[in-house]
Protein backbone atom coordinates (compact mmCIF):
# COMPACT_ATOMS: atom_id res chain seq x y z
CA UNK A 1 0.00 0.00 0.00
CA UNK A 2 1.36 3.41 -0.94
CA UNK A 3 0.07 5.27 2.11
CA UNK A 4 2.41 5.33 5.05
CA UNK A 5 0.55 4.20 8.10
CA UNK A 6 2.66 5.30 11.00
CA UNK A 7 0.25 3.90 13.50
CA UNK A 8 -1.70 7.12 13.28
CA UNK A 9 -4.43 6.08 15.64
CA UNK A 10 -6.89 8.68 16.77
CA UNK A 11 -6.55 10.41 20.10
CA UNK A 12 -9.32 11.63 22.39
CA UNK A 13 -8.83 15.11 20.89
CA UNK A 14 -9.38 13.62 17.43
CA UNK A 15 -12.59 11.93 18.54
CA UNK A 16 -13.72 15.27 19.93
CA UNK A 17 -12.95 16.88 16.56
CA UNK A 18 -15.14 14.30 14.81
CA UNK A 19 -17.89 15.03 17.35
CA UNK A 20 -17.67 18.75 16.59
CA UNK A 21 -17.93 18.12 12.83
CA UNK A 22 -20.96 15.91 13.49
CA UNK A 23 -22.55 18.60 15.63
CA UNK A 24 -22.02 21.20 12.88
CA UNK A 25 -23.95 19.18 10.31
CA UNK A 26 -26.54 17.87 12.77
CA UNK A 27 -27.50 21.47 13.61
CA UNK A 28 -27.55 22.57 9.96
CA UNK A 29 -28.47 19.56 7.87
CA UNK A 30 -30.67 20.51 4.94
CA UNK A 31 -31.04 18.03 2.13
CA UNK A 32 -33.82 19.98 0.39
CA UNK A 33 -33.27 23.73 0.10
CA UNK A 34 -29.55 24.39 0.42
CA UNK A 35 -28.06 20.93 0.26
CA UNK A 36 -26.08 21.25 3.48
CA UNK A 37 -25.00 17.67 3.94
CA UNK A 38 -21.36 17.81 5.06
CA UNK A 39 -19.81 19.17 8.24
CA UNK A 40 -16.12 19.74 8.90
CA UNK A 41 -13.97 20.66 11.86
CA UNK A 42 -10.35 21.80 11.88
CA UNK A 43 -8.17 21.92 14.99
CA UNK A 44 -5.40 24.49 15.03
CA UNK A 45 -2.10 24.23 16.86
CA UNK A 46 -3.52 26.86 19.24
CA UNK A 47 -6.02 24.21 20.31
CA UNK A 48 -8.94 26.16 18.89
CA UNK A 49 -11.44 24.27 16.74
CA UNK A 50 -13.41 25.81 13.87
CA UNK A 51 -16.34 24.19 12.13
CA UNK A 52 -18.20 24.65 8.88
CA UNK A 53 -20.83 23.12 6.65
CA UNK A 54 -20.83 23.05 2.89
CA UNK A 55 -22.42 26.02 1.13
CA UNK A 56 -24.30 25.24 -2.02
CA UNK A 57 -23.97 27.18 -5.27
CA UNK A 58 -22.84 26.43 -8.80
CA UNK A 59 -19.25 26.23 -7.58
CA UNK A 60 -20.20 25.71 -3.94
CA UNK A 61 -17.78 25.68 -1.06
CA UNK A 62 -16.99 22.43 0.69
CA UNK A 63 -17.36 22.17 4.46
CA UNK A 64 -13.57 21.97 4.84
CA UNK A 65 -13.19 25.27 2.99
CA UNK A 66 -15.76 26.96 5.21
CA UNK A 67 -14.12 25.65 8.39
CA UNK A 68 -10.64 26.69 7.23
CA UNK A 69 -11.98 30.06 6.15
CA UNK A 70 -13.45 30.57 9.64
CA UNK A 71 -10.08 29.69 11.18
CA UNK A 72 -8.15 31.98 8.87
CA UNK A 73 -10.58 34.80 9.60
CA UNK A 74 -9.57 34.46 13.26
CA UNK A 75 -5.89 34.76 12.24
CA UNK A 76 -5.14 31.08 12.67
CA UNK A 77 -2.40 29.84 10.37
CA UNK A 78 -1.18 26.61 11.90
CA UNK A 79 -3.47 23.66 11.41
CA UNK A 80 -3.13 20.32 13.14
CA UNK A 81 -6.01 18.04 12.16
CA UNK A 82 -9.12 18.22 9.98
CA UNK A 83 -12.11 15.95 9.42
CA UNK A 84 -15.29 16.02 7.33
CA UNK A 85 -18.45 14.02 7.91
CA UNK A 86 -21.60 13.51 5.83
CA UNK A 87 -25.21 12.75 6.71
CA UNK A 88 -27.93 13.98 9.06
CA UNK A 89 -25.91 12.85 12.05
CA UNK A 90 -22.57 13.14 10.31
CA UNK A 91 -22.34 9.41 10.52
CA UNK A 92 -20.00 8.98 7.55
CA UNK A 93 -16.40 10.21 7.69
CA UNK A 94 -15.50 11.24 4.15
CA UNK A 95 -12.19 12.06 2.47
CA UNK A 96 -11.54 15.52 1.02
CA UNK A 97 -12.46 16.04 -2.65
CA UNK A 98 -9.75 16.78 -5.21
CA UNK A 99 -10.19 20.55 -4.94
CA UNK A 100 -9.89 20.42 -1.15
CA UNK A 101 -6.81 18.22 -1.40
CA UNK A 102 -5.14 20.98 -3.39
CA UNK A 103 -6.26 23.59 -0.84
CA UNK A 104 -4.97 21.46 2.04
CA UNK A 105 -1.72 20.97 0.19
CA UNK A 106 -1.35 24.72 -0.35
CA UNK A 107 -2.32 25.83 3.16
CA UNK A 108 -1.35 22.97 5.40
CA UNK A 109 0.64 20.14 3.83
CA UNK A 110 1.61 18.78 7.26
CA UNK A 111 -1.94 18.86 8.65
CA UNK A 112 -3.35 15.46 9.46
CA UNK A 113 -6.59 14.44 7.77
CA UNK A 114 -8.88 11.97 9.50
CA UNK A 115 -10.39 9.54 7.03
CA UNK A 116 -11.42 5.95 6.67
CA UNK A 117 -8.85 3.50 5.34
CA UNK A 118 -10.10 -0.06 5.02
CA UNK A 119 -13.00 0.78 7.36
CA UNK A 120 -10.63 2.12 10.01
CA UNK A 121 -10.30 5.71 11.19
CA UNK A 122 -6.80 6.92 10.44
CA UNK A 123 -4.84 10.14 10.13
CA UNK A 124 -2.86 10.85 6.99
CA UNK A 125 -0.86 13.97 6.24
CA UNK A 126 -2.54 16.26 3.71
CA UNK A 127 0.51 16.18 1.41
CA UNK A 128 0.26 12.40 1.19
CA UNK A 129 -3.25 12.71 -0.24
CA UNK A 130 -2.01 14.54 -3.33
CA UNK A 131 1.01 12.91 -4.91
CA UNK A 132 2.65 14.86 -7.76
CA UNK A 133 0.79 17.95 -6.60
CA UNK A 134 0.53 21.17 -8.56
CA UNK A 135 2.71 23.84 -6.97
CA UNK A 136 2.20 27.56 -7.52
CA UNK A 137 5.26 29.45 -8.70
CA UNK A 138 7.29 31.15 -5.97
ZN1 LIG B 1 -13.93 19.57 -1.08
Residue 135 falls within a domain, yes or no? no
Residue 3 falls within a domain, yes or no? no
pLDDT at 7: 58
Active site amino acids: 64
Nearest residue to 63 (alpha-carbon basis) of 92, 123, 127: 92
Between helix 63-73 and helix 12-28 the angle, nearest 10°, is 110
The CA 100 to ligand 1 mean position distance, Å, reads: 4
Residue 119 falls within a domain, yes or no? yes
Residue 1 falls within a domain, yes or no? no
CATH number at residue 112: 3.40.140.10
Domain of 115? Answer: 12-129
pLDDT-derived band of residue 138, with 50, 70 and 90 as boundaries? confident
Q: Are strands 49-53 and 79-86 parallel, antiparallel or unpaired?
A: unpaired
pLDDT at 2: 47
The CA 94 to ligand 1 mean position distance, Å, reads: 10
Residue 2 falls within a domain, yes or no? no
* Averaged pLDDT for residues 103-109: 94
Write down the H helix ranges in the chain.
Answer: 12-28, 63-73, 98-107
Amino acid sequence: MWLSNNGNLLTDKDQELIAQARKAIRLNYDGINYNHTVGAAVRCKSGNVYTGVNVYSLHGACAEQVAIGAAITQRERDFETIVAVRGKEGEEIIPPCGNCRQMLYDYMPECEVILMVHEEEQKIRAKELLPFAYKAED
